[in-house]
Amino acid sequence: MSVTKEAVIERLRTVNGPDFTGNIVDLGLVSEIFIADSKVFFSVTVPAARAQELEPLRAAAERAVKAMPGVAGVVVALTAEKKGGGMEAAPPARPAPRPAAPSPAARTSPPAPPSRSSGKRGVPGIDAIIAVASGKGGVGKSTTAINLALGLQAKGLKVGVLDADIYGPSMPRLLGLKGKPETADGRTLKPMERYGLKVMSMGFLVEEETPMIWRGPMVVSALTQMLREVDWGHLDVLVVDMPPGTGDAQLTMAQQVPLAGAVIVSTPQDLALIDARKGLNMFRKVDVPLLGIVENMSYFVAPDTGKRYDIFGHGGAKNEAERLGVTFLGEVPLEMQIRETSDAGTPVVASAPDGPQAGIYRDIASKVLDRLKEERGAAEASTPAIVFE
């Protein structure tokens, strides 16, 4: 049974507006509704000052639509607009009811790990989250992210991968994964698995050809759900393949997720480095440690003659790392085997672990791991000791 926008709108008319005045549709709080593969996406606009308080409104809208026949999933974003949202004069909230006693499951669930930065809530079971980012697309960020994850796994770590590139998810293709993820309890998703990695991507939830025509708040909401409503289990490291650029989604991830560090991927030429600097500066401004820079497509060695060509220049990322005082993690050549294995869904670190290309990624993973330990040691050293006399 197919789901229509009209049916969703009628169902949303059963959801009361803020403070039980009217309903969220007639109050003009519901955005354009997008439906793909029986999954429904929309946002609800609330006053900025009451965004946190009105989270139950978002949850009520989600429950209402999720209960509709034929609906396979729902993503609802809470959009806060300071001006022009039509709700600046919304009445003050009523006193909140006394919360019910927590369920046995809630009492026994493990607390989220503490964050280095105040206001950032950790993800239960995940020891460290690493962002792999780039200032622009087309520099090989996703290929670097998946081979870095496999390189970290080769060090004996339990590793997961979150494909945070909502508009252009690559992990299904890079890992040769197809199908839809199962749910553990009707809400929490089970990650897909390949080569021992736990993986979640928007590419598992919609068809490959389906365009994601979303505004920033919907993207942020989807990222939050893929991070926090997935049964990751215990992971030593979660590698996040970030969207390219420095937009709303990237900034939200950097500000709200306790990132242990960021890896920047760039090609050697000046134009790419200009964008890479923007990414570096973004992470610095939100106090995310910079683990280092990877120079991808660093050079090309002709397979027939063995002659080396610096197609995009050479050493630009290394020079930039030295100038900025950031660790240079390594050079990855423009290599046919890396491209072929990526297209085939068999990343080179998994399919040819003893080859020279896999060795490059494993070396990068070792340096990233060393930098993580350095940052963790620095964070512990900066924590003041409390002495009782």
DSSP string, 240-260: EEPPSSSSHHHHHHHHHS--S
* Three-state SS letters, 322-353: HHHCCCEEEEECCCHHHHHHHHCCCCHHHHCC
What's the predicted TM-score (pTM) here?
0.71
| pLDDT for 232 | 95
| pLDDT for 369 | 96
Q: Which CATH superfamily hosts domain 5-81?
A: Fe-S cluster assembly (FSCA) (3.30.300.130)
Neighbour count for residue 236 (Cβ, 10 Å) = 17
Alpha carbon distance 286, 66 (integer Å): 35
| pLDDT for 159 | 97
Strands 300-301 and 34-36, by their bridges, are unpaired
pLDDT in tens, the chain (389 residues): 688 989 999 999 999 988 777 898 988 888 778 777 688 878 788 776 776 778 788 889 989 999 999 888 887 776 655 333 333 333 333 333 333 444 333 333 334 444 444 457 788 999 999 999 887 778 889 999 999 999 999 999 999 999 988 777 889 999 999 888 888 776 788 999 999 999 999 888 776 666 565 666 677 777 888 888 899 999 999 999 988 876 667 777 777 788 999 999 988 876 667 777 877 888 888 888 999 999 998 888 888 888 888 877 778 888 888 888 899 999 999 898 999 999 999 999 999 999 999 999 999 999 999 999 998 887 666 555 444 44
For the chain, domain boundaries: 5-81, 126-382
| pLDDT for 105 | 37
| 193-198, Cβ contacts within 8 angstroms, sequence gap of 24 or more | 195/150, 195/153, 195/347, 195/350, 196/153, 196/159, 197/149, 197/150, 197/153, 197/159, 197/160, 197/161, 198/159, 198/160, 198/161, 198/232, 198/233, 198/235
Structure tokens, 351? 């399919």
Give the three-state DSSP class for 373: helix
| pLDDT for 344 | 93
| pLDDT for 186 | 67
CATH number of the 126-382 domain: 3.40.50.300
Give the three-state DSSP class for 70: coil
| pLDDT for 76 | 79
